[in-house]
């Protein structure tokens, strides 16, 4: 399988995200640029310009009308997907680490970092109420005083947000009342990434403790564990196969001291039921920071510390592959 190489960033990729149909791929990096690409051939459609700091997160609503980005310039911005026009600017006191549309596309959530004397907050805005945007007043703001949120996703039906914290625990925050509905702590170190399955019933978490784990979204029951030898930066669930893909590597600052083999940072494929690794894909010249499956399950993308996004289309053999139990 030959990858399509997307060269549109000058610094390391922080997140990549497909839209619901999968025809577009959004990528954000530490170089302030938000790019959007055609996933079928890797052609760049355009950029969303305006952020003045590293962009940490990106999301797209279900009908690909709006794009949401959160950045270290202490702002969360809403864009018109088609024209690239900035629709809203939400100022914060610290860097915006995670952001997301709920399924309706009407409500957005984003979390801010604990830094410069400011607490970590999880903020909710209703985009149907222009007053909230104008006054920069979220209808709900939840302080997380103990451990900051490092990754967060919407749960099914937009009733709550599942947040992963730097100490390895998960909380379900209600989007109506702001209370904590459920807690779980299965990881021992920071949660780097959370991604849901296509029907939102499960999510997979990637952690610094060298594992990725599969959970039930509603009950937070721990289902499976996938172990590796190095920190996992990102993990994604295949929409059609019982597969998960994981990307990782050492911390960026330790890369030169440990690895001499070129391009050895692999995306690793595990069987979701048997917890067995069955394949690796080489390619990046640095740790893989994020992975994402195409919504049709026929390709996946990865973004790395090297500033490249690679789209890999699976060979036909992949779909016939059965793990020998």
Q: What distance in Å separates the CA atoms of residue 252 and residue 75, rounded to the nearest whole number?
A: 25
Q: What is the mean pLDDT of residues 155-167?
A: 90
> Distance between CA atoms of 28 and 247, rounded to whole angstroms?
17
Q: What is the mean pLDDT of residues 58-68?
A: 93
Instruction: Label residue 309 by pLDDT band (50, 70, 90).
Output: very high
The Cα–Cα gap between 28 and 206 comes to: 19
Give the pLDDT band (50/70/90) at residue 255.
low
CA triplet 269, 62, 91: central angle to 5 degrees? 100
The answer to whether residue 324 scores a pLDDT higher than 80 is no
Closest to 32 in 3D by CA, of 14, 7, 6: 14
The three-state secondary structure class of 317 is helix
* 3-state helix vs strand vs coil in the chain, percent to 5: 5, 50, 40
Residue 310 has what pLDDT? Answer: 93
The pLDDT tens digits of the residues spanning 258-294 come to: 554 555 678 899 998 998 888 888 888 888 999 999 9
pLDDT at 89: 92
Q: What is the CATH number of domain 2-318?
A: 2.130.10.10
Least confident of 48-52, 136-140, 290-294, 308-312: 136-140
Tell me, what's the pLDDT at 256? Answer: 57
Query: In this prediction, what percent of the chain has a pLDDT beyond 70?
Result: 95
Question: How many Cβ atoms are within 10 Å of 260's Cβ, its own excluded?
Answer: 6
**pLDDT on residue 253:** 59
Q: What is the pLDDT of residue 161?
A: 92
**DSSP H or E stretch at residue 97:** strand 96-101
DSSP string of 14-71, one letter each residue: EEEEE-SSSSEEEEEETTS-EEEEETTT--EEEEE----S-EEEEEE-TTS-EEEEEE
């Amino acid at each position: 399988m030959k990858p399509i190489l997307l060269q549109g960033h000058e610094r390391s990729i922080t997140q990549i995200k497909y839209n619901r149909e999968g025809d577009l791929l959004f990528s954000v990096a530490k170089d302030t640029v938000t790019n959007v690409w055609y996933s079928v051939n890797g052609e760049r459609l355009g950029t969303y310009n305006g952020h003045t700091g590293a962009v940490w997160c990106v999301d797209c609503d279900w009908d690909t009308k709006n794009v949401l980005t959160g950045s270290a310039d202490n702002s969360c911005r809403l864009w018109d997907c088609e024209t690239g026009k900035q629709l809203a600017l939400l100022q914060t006191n610290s860097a915006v680490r995670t952001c997301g549309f709920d399924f309706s596309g009407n409500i957005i959530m984003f979390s801010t970092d604990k830094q410069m004397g400011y607490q970590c907050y999880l903020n909710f805005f209703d985009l149907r109420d222009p007053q909230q945007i104008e006054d920069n007043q979220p209808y709900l703001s939840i302080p997380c005083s103990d451990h900051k949120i490092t990754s967060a996703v919407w749960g099914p039906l937009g009733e709550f947000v599942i947040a992963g914290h730097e100490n390895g625990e998960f909380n379900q925050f209600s989007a109506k009342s702001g209370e904590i509905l459920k807690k779980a702590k299965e990881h021992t170190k920071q949660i780097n990434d959370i991604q849901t399955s296509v029907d939102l019933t499960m999510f997979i978490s990637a952690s610094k403790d060298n594992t990725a784990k599969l959970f039930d979204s509603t009950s937070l029951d721990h289902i499976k564990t996938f172990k590796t030898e190095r920190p996992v930066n990102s993990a994604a669930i295949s929409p059609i196969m019982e597969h998960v893909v994981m990307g990782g590597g050492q911390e960026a600052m330790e890369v030169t001291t440990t690895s001499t083999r070129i391009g050895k940072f692999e995306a690793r494929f595990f069987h979701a039921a048997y917890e067995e690794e069955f394949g690796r894909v080489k390619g990046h010249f640095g740790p893989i920071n994020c992975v994402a499956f195409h919504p049709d399950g026929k390709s996946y993308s990865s973004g790395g510390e090297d500033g490249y996004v690679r789209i890999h289309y699976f060979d036909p053999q992949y779909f016939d592959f059965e793990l020998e139990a």
